[in-house]
Amino acid sequence: MANENNVVTVGLAAERFFRLYHAHCTAPSQDTLFSLLEAGHSLNDRMKRGTNLNFFDFPEFTALKCLRNYFHHQQELRHVVRLIPIANYPIVTDLAVLCLVPAKMVEAAIDETPARHLEAAQKAARKVFHWYGSVVNINPSLFNFVVLAYEHLRSAEVTLSGSAFEEFEVSYRYEVENGFSHFVDGTLSTLAGSVSQLLDDIMSTKFSR
């Protein structure tokens, strides 16, 4: 049985997770992205100890954990990730920011997954990441995972607090009251030719860091 101290640490880890999610929504960067991925990883560990539950039922978590593990051990490759405001491009989607990773990096992350988890990682990444030729957009899976984490924490009756969490909950309740989906679709469209080619061009552009 989980002890009281472990349950408390779940709440603290969840507060940090939502605080970093808020930072990623308001001022997204490579730092906010990888901090949020690390926080999700840490929260899952504490969930297992504090509630005997985890996030592995969610393909979003499995796919993101695969990437987190890869970039955790290959930190010099983090610079290849691009966070792009869609307002700068002729792209239509339901998120304001793209989070683009070269497809070869995602494949490398999958290949480095331990054999016992390899099939699950492959299926999850193919299901929840958005693949466009040589580029993968991971932001939809990240945002949807946050919703799933919130619902899972609520179902486990974890005490949640903090201004970032409270702001998320207000948004969640607004969606309930107005019949809106909590989840994003994340599909991209453009009138400027091929989405895959456009994203490939974005990835090959050098941005100031």
Strand residues in the chain grouped as ranges (E): 82-85, 97-102, 130-132, 135-137
10: nearest Cα among 43, 57, 53, 56:
43
> Starting from the edge strand earliest in sequence, which strands make up the sheet with 82-85, in order?
82-85, 97-102, 135-137, 130-132
Q: For residue range 55-75, what is the model confidence (pLDDT) as tens digits?
A: 999 999 999 999 999 999 998
User: According to the model, what pLDDT value does residue 207 have?
Assistant: 52
Helices 103-111 and 115-128, packing angle to 10 deg: 150
Residues 6 or more apart whose CB falls under 8 angstroms from that of 108 comprise: 70
Q: For residue range 18-39, what is the model confidence (pLDDT) as tens digits?
A: 999 999 999 999 999 999 999 9
Sign of CA dihedral 69, 73, 75, 79: negative
Q: Are strands 130-132 and 135-137 parallel, antiparallel or unpaired?
A: antiparallel
pTM for the structure as a whole: 0.92
Average pLDDT for the chain: 92
